[in-house]
Amino acid sequence: MDDIQYPELYDAIIAGNAKVSAAVTQKAIDAGADPQVLLNNSMIEAMNEVGRRFEANECFVPELLISARAMKAALEIIRPLLKGEGAEPAGRVVIGTVQGDLHDIGKNLVATMLEGGGFEIFDIGVDASPDKFVDAVQKNTPDLVALSALLTTTLPAMKRIVDKLTQAGVRENIKVIVGGAPVTQGFADEIGADGYSDNAAGAVTLARRLLAS
Ligand code: B1M
């Protein structure tokens, strides 16, 4: 809590107050705040605290939902600023949250940061089946496929997607990157992904490195 630079924003997200989280974020931006600091030192910290409370049975799914809504309201304000300007197109990316998983805040952040890094994004949403990934790859011919998962129980879906891309004959033309709280480098290696990042900014560096190689 000592590192929280915008306690009003942090508290508004934890309380699930979307109106206040949006207003406080706008006020901070107008006053010259760095959007990355708002994101890393208040917004993500607030969601981590909500997750901790959920784990400790101090709050329940409805609270998670309203906190997520308040997080999204604040994110909408900083999103255009995270995107940056004038970046050269760096590649095409199909991104989605894997089948069985409805968490999309982290996936949306990764998509926004990649877009800001000059990548063209095809976002296929949440709960995306292996077939949906294959269809999106065949339709959009990306350079990279990005998979997000937040649940331990949906990790196997990542492997099913990688396997399905191979079966469909499109795997060798693309790089696959994976991320999300339960994902590790070891897991990424095990399922045959090309790369792993534990955060959204790192996903951009990783994507650039993989496409340059
Ligand atoms: Co849920 N949930 N949730 N949840 N939820 C977690 C993930 C959990 C850790 C909470 C807890 O117990 N502490 C836990 C998972 C435990 C586990 O499996 N290990 C959990 C659970 C159990 C559940 C349900 C099963 C609860 C229930 O119904 N009993 C249920 C499952 C629903 C489903 O998906 N089928 C559920 C539901 C929900 C809500 C719908 C209510 C809501 C999601 C709303 C939404 O996304 N639209 C929700 C929320 C909000 C959370 C927590 C509190 C916050 C997630 C979040 O948005 N974090 C979460 C606890 C936590 O994470 N501390 C929790 C902020 C976000 C910026 O971080 O998504 O980690 P994150 O993304 C990061 C990195 O992971 C990384 O970059 C991002 C930015 O740095 N990253 C990538 C993500 N994807 C990447 C891809 C990349 C690279 C990096 O490359 C491709």
Cβ of 109 below 6 Å from ligand 1: yes
- Beta strand extents in 133-209 (DSSP E only): 144-148, 175-179, 195-196
Which range of residues forms the domain containing residue 52?
A: 7-85
Report percent pLDDT > 70 for the chain: 95
Mark whether 97 and 78 lie in a shared domain: no
Cβ of 199 below 6 Å from ligand 1: yes
User: Model confidence at 2, in pLDDT bands (50, 70, 90)?
Assistant: low
Per-residue confidence (pLDDT) for residue 85, from 0 to 100: 53
d(CA 55, CA 57) in angstroms, rounded, equals: 5
User: Model confidence at 88, in pLDDT bands (50, 70, 90)?
Assistant: low
Cβ of 123 below 6 Å from ligand 1: no
The DSSP secondary structure of 183-203, one letter per residue, reads: --HHHHHHHT-SEE-SSHHHH
Q: Which residues pair with 178 in a beta bridge?
A: 147, 196
Top-confidence residue, 3 or 62 = 62
CATH number of the domain within which 119 lies: 3.40.50.280
Mark whether 73 and 96 lie in a shared domain: no
Mark whether 72 and 121 lie in a shared domain: no
Q: What is the pTM of this model?
A: 0.89
Report if residue 187 sits inside a domain.
yes
CATH number of the domain within which 40 lies: 1.10.1240.10
Is 80 exceeded by the pLDDT of residue 53? yes
Fill in the amino acid letter for 116.
Answer: G
